[in-house]
Amino acid sequence: MPLAERPLRRLPQLLFGLALYGFSLALLVRASLGVNPWSVLYDGLAKQTPLSFGAISAVVGVLALLGWIPLRQRPTFGTFANIAVLALSSDLGLLVLPPCRGLAARSALLAAGIAVNALAIAVYVGARLGPGPRDGLMTGAAAVTGRSIRSVRTLIELTVLTAGWLLGGRAGVGTVLYALAVGPAAQLLLPRFAYRGAAEPAGPAAPDCPPGAAGGGRPGSGAVEVGQVGAVGAGREVAGPGA
């Protein structure tokens, strides 16, 4: 859906949702109980380079965007906002959130990170301003190969998860809980935030990008990124940005 349609309503929603998503990643990192697959990769690369977690996420986002070229995907304003806002908000979150000690406190941070992440997905996907770079990569690859979005997402996320873990990224029980909980929670919340165009009939709005369609789904054809922008856990799809 074009940015020109009610930008004063949809643009703040997009930016707020993306900022919230980046902050949720910081919560998950500080919990130190495992993060989502893409964040495992960012965490691992951040340990091997002088770049920050947010800077790594931006670099990976740009590289994923370059992968759109052979897939003939077209980025939108939301795609570029995804790269910039997630990088800034995740680094800011890590700056203001101190390292946490104690299993109870870390478990609380993990639960908060998952809940905030699901809310963030519903908010920014609901703005319907296009997919994040990782989501577009997943949905584009699915279209070109003829495989399901679910299978392509699972393959990509397992690849980045393994690479991140080998680099020292934090994978753990939080990674599993994220995969199980974020998709259903985002799907439950999405109808409350999904923008419905003036020309669309009454009824549940169908976001351009479904969280979970490609991963924490939402993209031009639409999947969440999870990230975050995400990637939501494998196997759950929200009908309807990446994070």
Q: What is the pLDDT of residue 204?
A: 54
Mean pLDDT of 64-85: 92
What pLDDT score does 211 carry? 44
What is the model's pTM? 0.81
pLDDT band at 1 (very low <50, low <70, confident <90, very high): low
β partners of residue 226: 229, 230
Output the pLDDT for position 240.
31
Say whether the peptide bond before residue 229 is cis (omega within 30 degrees of 0): yes
Cα–Cα distance for residue pair 165/172, rounded to 1 Å: 10
pLDDT at 164: 95
| Per-residue pLDDT band at 3 (split at 50, 70, 90) | low
Q: How far apart are CA 172 and CA 40, in angstroms?
A: 10
Q: Does 52 score more than 60 pLDDT?
A: yes
Lowest mean pLDDT among 16-20, 156-160, 166-170, 236-240: 236-240
191-241 pLDDT, tens digit per residue, is: 999 887 766 655 555 555 544 443 333 333 333 443 333 333 333 334 333
- Residue 155: other Cβ atoms inside 10 A: 14
Q: Which amino acid is at 52?
A: S
As a whole-number percent, the residues of the chain with pLDDT over 90 amount to 57
CB-based burial, 197-230: b 16+ in 10 Å, e otherwise: eeeeeeeebbbbbbbbbbbbbbbbbbbbbbbbbb
Among 3-12, 76-85, 166-175, which is the least confidently predicted range?
A: 3-12
- Mean pLDDT confidence for 73-84: 92
pLDDT at 221: 34
pLDDT at res. 173: 95
Phi and psi at 210, nearest 5°, equal -90, 125
Asked if residues 120 and 66 have their Cβ atoms less than 8 Å apart, the reply is no
Mean pLDDT throughout 23-27?
97
pLDDT of residue 108: 96
Lookup: tokens for 225: 């990124």
Say which residue the tokens 């003829």 belong to: 146
| DSSP assignment letter at 51 | S
What pLDDT is attached to residue 120? 95
